[in-house]
Chain A
Amino acid sequence: MCLAFPGKIISIDENNQAVIDVEGTRRETSLDLMDEAVTIGEYIVCHAGFAIHKVDEELALEQIAMLRQLLEDEI
């Protein structure tokens, strides 16, 4: 139930409501719970109609790289 998913911000209106793109579908998302500023083009984690976290693209990629390295180091 508290599943959340990443989406890319398409637009933000004056009520702090964003439209995000999740795998090609558009959803309305409130930014009222965000603890850092976000802008169009950035990714957020969305839960039940609210953005709850900015997805740090770099961190995500870094984690993947780390996993791949584990793979190379034969763990």
Chain B
Amino acid sequence: MKYSDEYRDPALVERLYAGVRDVAAGIDAPVTIMEICGTHTHAIGRFGIKSRLPDTVRLISGPGCPVCVTAVEDIDRSILMARLPGVILTTFGDMVRVPGTDGDTLERARAQGADVRVVASVMDAVKIAAAEPQREIVFLGVGFETTAPTVAATLRRCRERNVRNFSVFSVHKVIPPAIQVLLDDPLLSVDGFLCPGHVSTILGVDAYEPIPRRGKAAVITGFEPADILQGVMMILTQIATGKVDVEIQYGRAVNREGNPVARKMMSEVFRPMDARWRGLGKLPGSGLALADEYATFDVFNRFDIPTVESKEVAGCLCGGVLTGRKSPADCPLFRTRCTPAHPVGPCMVSREGTCAAYYRYY
């Protein structure tokens, strides 16, 4: 891939490790840095970064994967929808394996005859709608500010073209309320945040301003080893000098104002709603429902979806893992009953889930 070899240059990476050690040596107290994004968790594991940082620098994982934070009742409701006659349920790959109540999954629904299809883009779901006009195509939309605009742009096109057999179950979530919860958590002592790269392509820096206001460091960081190490070094430098701010390490994909076109489309097609996050509970204004002008594309206006009694998998510590309070190793099911091949909890499903990353790399 273009622009990645340079960021894996071993000599460069070694120098950055040395730089991290130097800056860390000038800080008296141990430093805890949370990566919010699951792709960072994955990359940190894959490149073995944790074990090579000084003992005083600790990296912990946060609620960074929309697959992991999808509430169990949303999974249960999507399974119900998939089982409705005439429906084709479409979604991204990881979602089909996320366990709902009693371990039920979309994958299992499919094995029992439901028409569940994995797509790489919401546009692919609309193509299915065009190809199968007699069926009702439901898109289970998950994702943060990177992904929600793609659904917004697609729905605008669908409205223009008067597409009638396509609807969206929006479980999209936005990042700022989750950051606020982390900042307000008295049990979590984090000194700095590695902020997600591609979410920030859309959001820019504003969304993270509350972090320095709380005296904590924030650096928007890319996903290659040199990116992550430079991000860590920038966080340590902020802490060492006492000048905390939101800085951008990942300048090749992020600028300060983000992508205003994408944000505008998002705000036109969606409206904020209270949403339940696995692990964090119900957060005001943290979800995206369809705006009134797009109500015909809302699954809830199209189908009668009964309320369900959902429950979390017994014994799964995902809630603690997603808030950085627990490590996967603290979970008695980790590596025993819960593995990537047979995930019990959502954090084991996606490659970006904290438990899956720890399973592979630690």
Number of interface residues of B (CB under 8 A): 55
A33, B253: Cβ atoms under 8 Å?
A: no
A23 interface residue (CB < 8 Å to B): yes
Q: Provide the residues of chain A in CB contact with B226, threshold 8 Å.
A: 67
Selected A-B contacts with CB under 8 Å, 13 pairs: A1-B92, A2-B144, A4-B146, A32-B153, A34-B261, A35-B261, A49-B123, A49-B150, A55-B253, A60-B252, A64-B6, A70-B15, A75-B15
B92, A32: Cβ atoms under 8 Å?
A: no
A52 interface residue (CB < 8 Å to B): yes
Q: Provide the residues of chain A in CB contact with B352, threshold 8 Å.
A: 1
B138 interface residue (CB < 8 Å to A): no
Q: Provide the residues of chain A in CB contact with B16, threshold 8 Å.
A: 67, 70, 75
Q: Provide the residues of chain A in CB contact with B157, threshold 8 Å.
A: 32
Residues of B at the A interface (CB closer than 8 Å) are 1-3, 6-7, 11-12, 15-16, 18-19, 22, 37-39, 65-67, 92, 94, 120-124, 142-144, 146-147, 149-150, 153-154, 156-157, 196, 198-199, 201-202, 223, 226, 230, 251-254, 259-262, 265, 350, 352
A63, B253: Cβ atoms under 8 Å?
A: no
The A interface, classified by DSSP as helix, strand, loop or mixed, is mixed
A60, B3: Cβ atoms under 8 Å?
A: yes
B198, A45: Cβ atoms under 8 Å?
A: yes
B3, A2: Cβ atoms under 8 Å?
A: no
Which of A22, A23, A52, A63 contacts B146, CB < 8 Å? A52
Which of B6, B7, B123, B198 contacts A47, CB < 8 Å? B198
How far apart sit A53 and B260, CA to CA, in the bound complex (Å)?
A: 11
How far apart sit A35 and B149, CA to CA, in the bound complex (Å)?
A: 12
How far apart sit A57 and B341, CA to CA, in the bound complex (Å)?
A: 40
Q: Provide the residues of chain B in CB contact with A33, threshold 8 Å.
A: 149-150, 153, 259, 261-262, 265
A-B contact count (CB 8 A): 126
Minimum C-beta distance from B124 to chain A (A)? 7
Minimum C-beta distance from A49 to chain B (A)? 3
B150, A50: Cβ atoms under 8 Å?
A: yes
B253, A1: Cβ atoms under 8 Å?
A: no
Q: Could you mark each residue 1-14 of chain A with 1 if its beta carbon is under 8 Å from any beta carbon of chain B, else 0?
A: 11111101000000
**From A43, which residue of chain B is reached at the shortest CB distance?**
B2
If the complex has contacts A2-B39, A6-B2, A33-B149, are A71 and B121 also in contact, measured as CB distance less than 8 A? no
Minimum C-beta distance from A8 to chain B (A)? 8
If the complex has contacts A30-B123, A48-B122, are A1 and B201 also in contact, measured as CB distance less than 8 A? no
A42 interface residue (CB < 8 Å to B): no
If the complex has contacts A48-B121, A55-B252, A63-B252, are A1 and B94 also in contact, measured as CB distance less than 8 A? yes
Q: Provide the residues of chain A in CB contact with B67, threshold 8 Å.
A: 1
Most buried by B among A2, A3, A64: A2
**From A60, which residue of chain B is reached at the shortest CB distance?**
B252
Chain A residues 7-61 with CB under 8 Å of chain B are 8, 22-23, 28, 30, 32-35, 43, 45, 47-50, 52-53, 55-56, 59-60
B201, A52: Cβ atoms under 8 Å?
A: yes
Q: Provide the residues of chain B in CB contact with A28, threshold 8 Å.
A: 123
Q: Provide the residues of chain A in CB contact with B37, threshold 8 Å.
A: 2
B142, A50: Cβ atoms under 8 Å?
A: no
Q: Provide the residues of chain B in CB contact with A34, threshold 8 Å.
A: 261
Minimum C-beta distance from A74 to chain B (A)? 8
Which of A43, A45, A47, A56 contacts B150, CB < 8 Å? A47
B147, A47: Cβ atoms under 8 Å?
A: yes
Minimum C-beta distance from B149 to chain A (A)? 5
How far apart sit A6 and B223, CA to CA, in the bound complex (Å)?
A: 13
If the complex has contacts A33-B262, A35-B260, are A48 and B253 also in contact, measured as CB distance less than 8 A? no
How far apart sit A53 and B223, CA to CA, in the bound complex (Å)?
A: 16
A4, B122: Cβ atoms under 8 Å?
A: no
Which of A3, A5, A59 contacts B251, CB < 8 Å? A59
